[in-house]
Chain A
Amino acid sequence: MKLEIKDLYAGIDGKAIIKGANLSMKEGEVHVIMGPNGSGKTTLAKTIFGYPSVKVTQGDVLVDGKSILGLTTDKRAALGLFLGFQYPVEIEGVGFVNFLRASKEAVSQSQANMKELMKDIKVWSGELKMDDSIIGRALNKGLSGGEKKKAEILQMILQRPKIAILDEPDSGLDIDAIKVVAENINKAIEETGVGMLVITHYNRILSYMHPQHVHIMVNGKIVADGSKELIEKLEKEGYESFDHR
């Protein structure tokens, strides 16, 4: 699978937020986007998924050469895209297991094997060092910030996407948890060959991962593409040297 963002302009309520973003990635690749607060990283991820109030004014988002902008959010996910949220939503009364089942059935277009699903949940929540009481709970309800992030990774693993966009999977995690999450992301890449687009502010999670491509986003634009060395430059100079407004 190939995901391309081509000269994309998008905004909310008439306010331009994404201003000419370009990015291309394939299954199996690990990409990182870094950028200052408010630069539009989350909005870019939401645009890829068709968030209702984001309006694309120019450019395109393509999967395997075909535009996905005309598809509803669920259809985009069905192509094999996954979005790990920066702020996972708490949903009253919707059970975590039933939610997972519904999403699995929707993506695979077949009835889920409950026994297998329950087993997978147990195995992977164990790997992620999560309390498996999450199983009997409502979706994200009452989970701590870090637990919510782990639950996103758990969902990503269970859904087996082809390309996953993880929006700050490390924010709010303690030092040990960051390592656990990174290891599990790596495992998913190894086992399923999923492509990753990781949005982050911190080097720590990247030290456990092997990103081949690093993109810097400033003011709605990808202003630099490169390899891991870009991160070193960033650490030294901050975002200012990338901001050519």
Chain B
Amino acid sequence: MIDQSKFVEEALNEYHRLPEEGDSLYIRRFAPLGLDIDKYGSGRSDGKEDKVRKFYEELRENTGMSFDATVWESGCIVKDGNPAIRLVKFGDNEYGKAISNKLFRSGDDKYVAMLHATAKQALVIDIKDGMSADLKVLFAVVGGSLPMQVFVNLGKNARLGLFEWHASDCAKPCFSGTVRELRLQEGAACDISVLHNENANTTVLEHTKGTTSEGGSSTINFIYTGGNAVRARNSIEASGRESMVRVGELAISSKRQKFDLNTYVVNAAGGSEARLSSAAVAMQESTCYLKGFAVITNGSKDARSFVEEKGLLLDGMAKINSIPSMSIGENAVKATHSSAIGPIDQDSMFYLTSRGISAETAKRLMVLGFFSGPISGIRSGLVKEVVSSVISGKIRSNGEFGELPKLNAENVIWEGSREAGIEQHYKYRTEK
């Protein structure tokens, strides 16, 4: 019998010592031992459901957001009558097993295999041809650890708007792990925002694979604010002709948080477009790695690929390492990548403070401004507000994270919003 919590703690400590985990660590810590799911916080609901409910209520109170599904270590509540979304237990039937195998193909990432060893359920979002849905899902780690699988299947010309809020409230070291597969059929379009705002005892593992068929379009925004460490390995592919992929990464790290974000955008067909925009702000002693990778496969004529990484350092000890990279197997393509990292501009700071604005507020304004491009890539107004509030709250509280924020997007505008938009924004604010 192994002491699970001690085991997790040791493994996480070791992980944190290494900027990039080596296989030997994994093999030593995870592979030979395996994880005992029942031991690892996925047993019967021991009052956790109440905790989740509290979580949910608090979030709804603070943000006005209600969730179509709420998932925690050992259960899931799906709002009545929503045919688009359901929970599948892996052991239950052939379908569950198939999903499980689909999500955890062999040869995948080692950490994914670790998640596989502990996962028992998957959330399946299935939108039929020509149908559309707009969903919000809360993932709450309230006691043990949450290895969660999300399987998204969009039929032909189907539409999906999805917001995932990943939160945790663990007193002991734990992980919040997600394996996500997105499959878009011809002409389908998704707009997904994934917000990670876990607490400091949580290590975040994020793993998404996406394929986009002909004429389809995938927009995915990852927002990383919480967790003591984040390890993201994402690969989103423009698979069919004229398909389009847009991935946004917004990261704001503080204290000793360590974010390690490795994202591939892939052009695998002619006329396809793949775009990755990463924006990171690092506070205090935190570190953020941005490892964007553009892949253009052989035969993808007239493909367009853009990787943009930018970073803003708020403190002398903060680090951002931007390592954009590409592999191009085709000649007739257009590919650009750029990277820019720097501290807050002294002249901008002076300009704002010369108008009476305090240095802290000025900083916050500039950080929100820095993120305004990526935030404007999120389509839902409410999600924009939530994301802005979480970011603004993190700066306001001097780097705290994992809290459930109140909506307070005071100083945000999103690019391209005109007068009407602004007035509406304030109207909305004052009416609430």
Contact = CB atoms under 8 A, between A and B. Distances in A.
A201 B369 CA distance: 34
B93 interface: no
A72 B350 CA distance: 10
Given A95-B412, A98-B412, A155 B355 contact: yes
A73 B356 CA distance: 7
A107 interface: yes
Contacts of A159: 355-356
Nearest to A97: B422
Residue of A82, A94, A102, A132 with highest tally of chain B CB at under 10 A: A94
Interface residues of B, number: 39
Contact of A99 (B352, B370, B421): B352
Contact of A73 (B353, B361, B413, B430): B353
B27 interface: no
B370 A93 contact: yes
Contacts of A136: 413, 417-422
Contacts of A102: 352, 355, 357, 361, 365, 411
B368 A74 contact: no
Contact of A51 (B350, B361, B411, B421): B350
A62 B365 CA distance: 30
A53 interface: yes
Given A89-B351, A93-B369, A98-B410, A74 B415 contact: no
A93 B413 contact: yes
A160 B371 CA distance: 31
A135 B422 contact: yes
A83 interface: yes
Contact of A49 (B354, B373, B422): B354
B351 A98 contact: no
**Chain A facing B: main interface SS:** helix
B357 A103 contact: yes
Contacts of B357: 74, 99, 102-103, 106
Interface string A42-74: 000010010111000000000000000000111
A93 B373 contact: yes
Interface string B170-209: 0000000000000000000000000000000000000000
Interface of B: 345-359, 361-362, 365-366, 368-373, 410-413, 415, 417-423, 426, 430
17 contacts: A46-B350, A72-B358, A72-B359, A85-B351, A88-B351, A89-B348, A89-B351, A92-B372, A93-B415, A95-B422, A99-B352, A103-B355, A114-B430, A133-B419, A136-B417, A136-B422, A159-B355
